[in-house]
Amino acid sequence: MGMIKGYFKHVRKPEGIWGKLMMEAMNRAHASVSDWGMGHLWGISPDRIAELGCGGGRNTVQLLKKFPKAKVTALDYSQTAVEKTKHIGRQAIQAGRLQVIWGNVSHLPFQAEVFDLITAFETVYFWPGPVESFREVWRVLKPGGMFLIVNEADGTGKEDRKWMSMIDGLQIYHKDQLKDFLQKAGFKEIMVACDQRRHWLCMMAKKETAQ
């Protein structure tokens, strides 16, 4: 069990060779839920996007493809993830469309009201707070901007407790918990999409426009 937990600690913060292997596995395993969640982003044309918890960079590349006129800033608090995303997105970096940085969601290194869209794929399970982290998201979103959360586990699955016991720091939230966190952070317009069969959860929170 100790060896298994040692491997799965890299889900939270990939490091070294095991972290690189974990990111490759997560890129493949989470592709379907990520594309499903990204499919809810229609009718918008963001200029500035932040992907928080970029991991192996797969979703960073998909965001660049989906919004070809946008610039993306990818952030992770794993230096291994930062380097992986820089590698996979090197062409976009050279084209001036992608910036990849190290950072922590509890203290985002951005000025207020910078981004039109902020995404979080398979990552809010580990966010500190999380109300305080969501307040940081609210702070750096422009009025009218959207915050997208995509989770492969919605807090109702039979396997949730097992995963929480195996992965240190993992907390799987129910949609009502996340909605409460978002509201406390300042979001008032919140939309929820669920795939009940697969226990997938997508939440979209919009920052109100200035009055």
Alpha carbon distance 152, 157 (integer Å): 10
Does residue 198 surpass a pLDDT of 90? yes
Count of structural domains within the chain: 1
**Does residue 211 sit within a domain?**
no
**Does residue 189 sit within a domain?**
yes
**Does residue 70 sit within a domain?**
yes
Share of the chain above pLDDT 90, in %: 73
Alpha carbon distance 109, 102 (integer Å): 9
Q: Which residue has the tokens 């992608």?
A: 98
pLDDT confidence band for 206 (50 / 70 / 90): very high
* List of E strands, the chain: 48-52, 71-76, 98-102, 115-121, 141-151, 189-195, 200-206
**Contact (CB, 8 A) for 72 and 99:** yes
What is the reported pLDDT for 2?
A: 43
What is the reported pLDDT for 4?
A: 39
**Does residue 82 sit within a domain?**
yes
Angle at 130 between CA 127 and CA 136, to 5 degrees: 90
What is the b/e burial string over 178-199, where b = at least 16 CB atoms within 10 angstroms of the residue's CB?
Answer: bbebbeebbbeebeeeeeeeeb
Q: pLDDT tens digit string along 112-157?
A: 999 999 999 999 999 999 999 999 999 999 999 999 999 999 988 8
Alpha carbon distance 56, 74 (integer Å): 11
What is the reported pLDDT for 1?
A: 44
Alpha carbon distance 4, 107 (integer Å): 31
What is the b/e burial string over 10-22, where b = at least 16 CB atoms within 10 angstroms of the residue's CB?
Answer: bbbbbeeeebbeb
Q: pLDDT tens digit string along 44-91?
A: 999 999 999 998 899 999 999 999 999 999 999 999 999 999 999 999
Q: pLDDT tens digit string along 20-53?
A: 555 566 666 668 899 999 999 999 999 999 999 9
The per-residue pLDDT of the chain, averaged, comes to 88
**Does residue 167 sit within a domain?**
yes
Amino acid found at 112: A
Spatial CA neighbour of 72 closest among 39, 48, 38, 56: 48
Among 169-173, 175-179, 185-189, the minimum mean pLDDT is found in 169-173
Does residue 9 surpass a pLDDT of 90? no
pLDDT confidence band for 160 (50 / 70 / 90): confident
CATH number at residue 42: 3.40.50.150
What is the reported pLDDT for 209?
A: 83
Domain containing 164: what range? 2-206
